[in-house]
Every structure is written in structure tokens, then in C-alpha cells.
Structure 1
Amino acid sequence: MRLNTMAWGSGDRVALLVHGMLGGAAQYHQVGPALAERGYRAIAVDLPGHGNSPAAPEATMDLFVDAVLESVDHRPSLAIGHSLGAVVLSHALPRLRPARVVYVDVPFDNPSEDPPAMGLRERFTAARAARTEHRLRTTRPGWSAEDCRLEAEAAANFDVDTAVALERSYAGQVVGRPTVPSLVIRAAPSRYVSADRARELEELGFSVRSVHGAGHCVWYGFLDDFMAALDGWREA
């Protein structure tokens, strides 16, 4: 499956950007240009069932990984994944072979039981319906008008059946020591990566940096802080 992509810059180094659930490539509308200014050719994908990519009602994590690998260059200099996108990247790592990888606000939970399809469908349908531009402007005061517009557009394009199939195919993973230089950037406080979990990830060998006051999509409203966290790690 070929995925829709967006690109910024023309540098020799490739940065792959993978969005989270209910999102899309346009989620990186500020991060992509910021990376281009740093000499990268930044490429963001719309995952299956998101944005302008095809739906995949029989989706599995392997299908998601295969679709990403079919649509982008292997061995990027940098790969960044947010939430679900971070999970997809972690599964793609052996074949993608990035030089460095960044996981944004993802806990890498331990395996869990297979969730029922009906409950997932209800949850995703409600989340999509609630993600309107008006509601986002009300509930996300730190987001720009463009952030809200693009997130609402992504929600409108989100395919519930694809998400349900993916979630039922994937029950978490046991994460070991990273095999390439790896950074976790978390919101602080974070609903997803607690302070205790951040310490556990550091003990495994991940670098962890926090952006205080940010939400789950960490760079929205905090782009300078997010890029400073990334730059400090890249240049260390």
C-alpha cells in the first residue's frame, strides 16, 4: 500500500515523521519546516485509514509497517513517531534502520488482552465526532487556529474500521534496550508517560526529555521547547 506523504526541505538527510491515532501528516506542519531549516528533507506520511491514504479495514501492525516502508526511503537520518506513530516506528525499526529515532509521548505498554471490537468502535467513533474545529478551539487554548483546523480535518478523514482492526491486531509490546540512539519526548505532566515510566525507560537506555505544560501532541503551542529538546539530544 502506497501512503500519501507531505515533504519539506531538500537536504541530504531524510527525517521521517509518523503521526498518531486520529492524526495525519499535516500534524507536522510546523515540525517539518523546522527540520528543513536544520538541513533535513522531512517526509511525513498519512498512515492507513488516516488523511489521504487508503483505508485498511483488515489492518494489522505488519500492514502498517509494510505500508510505511513501501512509501518512504529506508535508513533515514532521523525518524520521529508520535503516539501510535511511535509504536509503528518501533515495529519498523529492524527494516527501516534509522540512524536516530524519537518517540513522542508514548509509554510502550506491556501486552494486554485483546480489546472487544464493539467497545473500540464506540470509543473511536466518539473521539472522531468530538474532534471538531470549534471544540478544539475551546478545549485547546494553546493550539493555533491552524492546529485546530488541521486536527479537525484529520479526524473527519479518520477511518474507524481501520483503527479497530489495528488495535485488535496489536496488544502492546515488551520494550528492551534500544538498538539505535533513542529519545522519548514527553509532555509534563503526561497522561501516557508517567514520571515513573520515564525513569524506567531511562534505565533501559532511552534518553528522556520533558516539555513542561505541553499536551499529548507535544509541539502544539510549544514548538520552540520541542525543537530545543530535540536539538539538545541530536547535538549531544
Structure 2
Amino acid sequence: MTLRWDPPGPVRGRLVLLHGELAAATTWWRVGSELAEQGWLVSAPDLPGHGTMPENGGRPLDMPTLVQGVAERLPGQVDLLVGHGLGAIVALVLANRYVELTKAVVLEEPLSARPEDCKALADAAIAASALAHADRDRYLERVRETHPLWSHGDVQQALIGVRAADAPALAAALRRPRPWDLPALLGTLHTPALFLVAPSGADTPDATPSSSLRGLDRLAAERRTSADRFVVLHGGHHLHRDLPDQWIKAVCGFADAVCPAPHP
């Protein structure tokens, strides 16, 4: 499924949202409509093995599978390609592979491929999926406890996303050696980029100890762009859910700079 939000007036441009790990296109329910109000024609596909996309036949949801599954459903060229977490890595690969695909990218908390981070994420994915299927109410309670900034709608969407995702296939891909190379992807990116990241090495509202961008990954991102395009928002890994108003402000400001609205 690909969700769409159409602007109420003239179309300013086309924007694509790529959700993160164990989520679905519906995670963008709030910011998608807000971006449409700003004049953007917004679409959000489900990643393979997530949401309503078919399962992968038991095969790992590796990066080639994810990228190909999204590429087949993109609406042609886009002005802004936005990705969160795993979706940010998919956006990076797409922007590198198809150099004319997009004018700019927004990378919200792109995932690290450090072995310890991938293993921890794989273990967390299996545990979250098991709890969501075994005890719906306990899963919702845990989400509310660990994500105090989330709205009721975001909590419900988290349950929908994790129950629909193929967690074993995702975990299998994450446990492979070096499933992607974030510094290398950033080094070959030729389009303007906005990074939206959580604080590094500090407590965050969702009990995440630090941003997904750490060490060499964070340094590579900071070196890739100017200071005003490396934006730290004081939330957790899911910034579009934690701080939607600040997220919208940052993305729209970046869009105004790289894709200015046409003069009437």
C-alpha cells in the first residue's frame, strides 16, 4: 500500500516518506497531512516485509530487497525524499543509485550498521514482535511507558506496524556482516541533505541512551553537510512522533531552501 495526501490548493512539488524498521506507511499519519497543507503532493509506501507489503518468503529483508521493493513503487522523480531509521538508509541508497531521482533528501535518525547496534536492533525486533502478538495490552503499555511524548494515535500505529512486520526476516538481515556502510553512502551522496537526529550520549524522552548516529557514523554525517542542516531535536529515535511540530518546521525550512516555491 502507498498512502497519499493531496494538497488542498496548488501543488508545490512531490515528496516521498519512507518509514523505519517495524513501522508502516501509517506512521506518517500526522506529518503527511501537515506537509500536504504546505502544498506538497505526499506519498508514503510500505517497505517490503512491512505494513501491507507481502512477506519476503522467509528470505532476509536485506538492503537490495528493500531498495528494489521501494524503487518499483516510486512515483517517478520527486523533489524531496524523506526517510526515518531503516527508511533513511533506503533513501540514501536510492539517491546514490538513481542520481536524477530526487532534488534533496531528509535523513531522520539513519540506522548505524555497527555490529553491536545491528545485533541489539535484531534482538529488539524479535522481542517487540513476540510481545505485540502475545499480549497486545502489555505491548501498548510498554510503548506508552517508553515513549511518553507520543500521542494516542502514534501508540496505536506502533502496534499496527510491529504486528504487520516480518520481524524474523528483518532480524536475519541485520545479523549479516555489515548490512550497509553509512559513511560510504554519505560520501557518495551528491544531493543536498538534512539530518534530523536525537542528542548524542544523552538521555532522551523515550529512554534511548543516545542517537542512532554515533561515533564515525555521526562524524561522517556532520562532515557531509553544514551546521544548519545537521539538526538536533531533543526527542528519541522517532522524532516525527516525538516532536512533530519541530520536525515539520525543520523539514519545511529545508524544503524552502532547496526546492523554493514557484512565484505566483
Report if TM-score (shorter chain) is over 0.5: yes
Match of 2:105 in 1: 101
1:123 Cα shift? 4.1
Is 1:6 aligned with 2:10?
no
Q: Name the SS for the 1:14 alignment partner.
A: strand
Q: Name the SS for the 2:239 alignment partner.
A: coil
Pick aligned residue for 1:211 from 230, 233, 237:
233
TM-score for the superposition, normalised by structure 1: 0.85
Spell out structure 1 runs of 4+ moving beyond 6 A: none
Match of 1:185 in 2: 196
**1:66/1:196 Cα in 2 relative to 1: closer, same or farther (>3 Å)?**
closer
State how far apart, in whole Å, the 1-side matches of 2:67 and 2:236 are. 26
1:139 Cα shift? 2.3
Q: Which has the higher helix share?
A: 2
The aligned length equals 228
Aligned 1:121-132 pairs, distance under 5 A? 122-130=123-131, 132=139
State how far apart, in whole Å, the 2-side matches of 1:40 and 1:73 are. 14
Q: Is the contact made by 2:80 and 2:255 (CA closer than 8 Å) also made in structure 1? A: no
Q: In terms of mean alpha carbon deviation, does 192-201 or 136-145 score higher? A: 192-201
Percent identical = 27
Aligned 1:1-236 pairs, distance under 5 A? 4-10=1-7, 11=11, 13-56=13-56, 57-58=58-59, 59-93=61-95, 94-95=97-98, 97-106=101-110, 108-109=112-113, 122-130=123-131, 132-167=139-174, 168=176, 171-173=179-181, 174=184, 175-189=186-200, 190-194=210-214, 198-205=218-225, 207-212=229-234, 214-236=235-257
Read off the aligned partner of 1:227 and give its amino acid letter.
I
Q: In terms of mean alpha carbon deviation, does 218-227 or 5-14 score higher? A: 5-14
Instruction: Give structure 2 stretches of 5+ with no counterpart.
Output: 133-138, 201-209, 258-264
State how far apart, in whole Å, the 2-side matches of 1:120 and 1:142 are. 22
1:108 Cα shift? 4.9
State how far apart, in whole Å, the 1-side matches of 2:256 and 2:158 are. 31
Q: Is the contact made by 1:185 and 1:210 (CA closer than 8 Å) also made in structure 2? A: yes
State how far apart, in whole Å, the 2-side matches of 1:16 and 1:169 are. 29
State how far apart, in whole Å, the 2-side matches of 1:85 and 1:143 are. 20
**1:50/1:205 Cα in 2 relative to 1: closer, same or farther (>3 Å)?**
same
Instruction: Please provide the CA RMSD for this pair.
Output: 2.6
